[in-house]
């Protein structure tokens, strides 16, 4: 399976391509610059696509709030501190975000019955429906674009993106043990 994902199973790295040995340092630097520019453009496009999908569902929700909802959707019930860590924000910022999401009926916040000092967060039914709607919209738009690519480019894109995620060695959102595995390229849980 690791080989399928573009990983070298023993070193968790992508093996170099045969033609990489033929490139000198300047050519490798230029190629890296080109790939980086293409990924940055794709990243901007995907953020815009997410914003467009979100705008069709909610006029008040922000992209960071959507990201928090997607984390809760993918990870299941989590503690506030875990959400903050996953989002890369401090706990007070996460708390303010959760309070707004809770006021909107999207998140349920409860005291952890095992440790009353901890707060456990989960999506409400409305929150789950919103996340599914946004992810479905995003999935349809991406699928339509990918469908317009020739087959050899699609398969090359899959290999390249999986290799990139393998060397990153960190999916954006890890699946909750009870949830289905998420697609590490799209962050989509397949629903």
For position 121, what pLDDT does the model report? 95
pTM above 0.75, yes or no: no
Query: Which residues, other chains included, contact 5 with Cβ-Cβ below 8 Å and sequence gap of 6+?
Result: 162, 165, 166
Spell 27-55 as b/e; 16+ CB within 10 A means b: eeeeeeeeeeeeeeeeeeeeeeebeebbe
Supply the pLDDT for residue 11.
39
Q: What is the pLDDT of residue 7?
A: 36
Q: Kindly give the interhelix angle for 125-147 and 25-57, rounded to the nearest 10 degrees.
A: 130
Confidence (pLDDT) at 24: 82
Distances (CA, A) of 129 to 24, 84, 136, 147, 154: 51, 23, 10, 26, 30
Q: Is residue 123 part of a domain?
A: yes
Structurally, the chain folds into a number of domains equal to 1
What is the predicted pLDDT for the residue at 191?
35
Can you give the pLDDT at residue 130? 94
Question: Which pLDDT score, from 0 to 100, does residue 20 have?
Answer: 60
What is the C-alpha to C-alpha distance for residues 189 and 191, in angstroms, rounded to an integer?
6
> Does 12 map to a domain?
no
Helix axes 63-75, 91-103, angle to 10 degrees: 90
User: What range does the domain containing 65 cover?
Assistant: 20-186
* Predicted local distance difference test score (pLDDT) of residue 190: 39
- In this predicted structure, what is the pLDDT of residue 170? 57
Residue 60: predicted pLDDT = 86
User: Is position 9 within any domain?
Assistant: no
CATH of the domain at 84: 1.10.10.10
Rounded distance between C-alpha atoms, residue 73 and residue 56, angstroms: 19
Provide the residue-wise pLDDT of the chain in tens; the chain has 191 residues.
333 333 333 334 445 554 566 678 888 899 999 999 999 999 999 999 888 888 888 778 999 999 999 999 998 899 999 999 999 999 999 999 999 999 999 999 998 888 888 889 999 999 999 999 999 999 999 999 999 999 889 988 989 888 888 888 754 544 333 333 343 333 444 33
**Does residue 52 lie within any of the structural domains?**
yes
Residue 8 resides in a domain: no
**pLDDT value for 2:** 37
In sequence order, what DSSP letters do the residues of the chain get, joined into one string? Answer: -TTTTT-BTTTTBPPPPGGGGGS-HHHHHHHHHHHHHHHHHHHHHHHHHHHHHHHHH-SS--HHHHHHHHHHHHH-SEEHHHHHHHHTS-HHHHHHHHHHHHHTTSEEEEEETTEEEEEEEEE-HHHHHHHHHHHHHHHHHHHHHHHTS-HHHHHHHHHHHHHHHHHHT--SSPPPTTSPPPPTTT-----
Give the pLDDT of residue 189.
41
What the block records as the tokens of 60 is: 């008040």
């Amino acid at each position: 399976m690791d080989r399928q994902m573009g990983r070298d199973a023993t070193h968790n790295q992508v093996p170099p391509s045969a033609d990489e040995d033929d490139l000198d340092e300047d050519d490798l630097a230029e190629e890296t610059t080109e790939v980086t520019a293409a990924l940055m453009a794709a990243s901007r496009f995907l953020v815009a696509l997410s914003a467009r999908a979100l705008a069709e569902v909610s006029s008040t929700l922000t992209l960071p709030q959507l990201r928090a909802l997607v984390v809760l959707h993918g990870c299941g019930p989590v503690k506030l501190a875990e959400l903050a860590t996953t989002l890369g924000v401090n706990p007070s910022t996460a708390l303010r975000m959760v309070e707004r999401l809770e006021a909107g009926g999207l998140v349920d916040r409860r005291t952890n019955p095992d440790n009353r000092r901890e707060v456990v967060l989960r999506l409400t039914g409305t929150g789950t429906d919103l996340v599914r709607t946004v992810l479905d919209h995003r999935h349809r738009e991406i699928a339509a674009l990918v469908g317009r690519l020739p087959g050899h480019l699609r398969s090359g894109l899959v290999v390249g993106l999986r290799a990139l995620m393998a060397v990153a060695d960190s999916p954006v959102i890890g699946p909750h043990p009870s949830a289905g595995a998420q697609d590490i390229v799209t962050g989509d849980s397949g629903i």
